[in-house]
Amino acid sequence: MDRILSADGTPIAYRRQGAGPPLVLVGGALGVAATDAALAALLAPRFTVITYDRRGRGASGDTGRWAVAREVEDLAAVVGAAGAGASVFGMSSGGALALEAAAAGLPVELLAVYEPPYTPGTSGLRSKARCTARLRELLAAGDRGGAVELFLSMTGVAEETAARMRRAPAWSQLEAVAHTLAYDDALLGDGAIPAERFSAVAARTLVICGGFSSAPARAATRTLAEALPRGRHRTLTGQVREVAPQVLAPVLTDFFARDVYAYGRAS
């Protein structure tokens, strides 16, 4: 993997593949660059796809002084390394990061996000507050496994499935980045959609959800799309929170292909 220094000097590791206009993929909670490998491979025939290890994960560094602004700077550094005209796709909480970066002035014209896990509404905000408090308790106690289990339960993973995952070799990899769950949790604030802040997002933005995702998740994506000045919404029939790359890739290709012809002429 290549590396670039973020504004505070933290090394951020990234991988580049494919050919065409640059497209940066921003992963969600517990993910690393390799998590997006299947989607990146499907997009690579049309785009130069950049995947990266977010701060505190994989081959990237971590200063221990996390703030939303630091991850925004990390993404800005990766977009800068991607090259002129880069577009951005964010998965789950990675979508929240991409939106925060765009609101802060990240120079992207096209942005897509899949189910940023905002939880607007009274019950959603209460649930978010309880989960935040419990996550902080677990991490403060050094219970990385408990933090991962909490995250899995929040995403709808059954207790029996989580127990089987604990016995799998990959579990240690999840525990290794469990501390970054606090980063993703902080990205979402109290769970409400920050409509006033996102009114500054100038990029044309596609907000995507799965047709079989929960009703609150689908409603939140529609509310988000309406809050964005140039937002539009799309539902992928039959998909859930864990969207199939082969279903998502053609949708992203269609959306981001606006730059393909211009890129070809410039080349």
The DSSP annotation for 183-252 comes to HHHHHTTTSS--HHHHTT--SEEEEEEETTS-HHHHHHHHHHHHHSTTEEEEEETT--SS--HHHHHHHH
**Per-residue model confidence (pLDDT) at position 258:** 66
pLDDT tens digits, one per residue of 74-91: 999 999 999 999 999 999
pLDDT tens digits, one per residue of 163-218: 899 999 889 999 999 999 999 999 999 999 999 999 999 999 999 999 999 999 99
**What does pTM read for this prediction?**
0.94
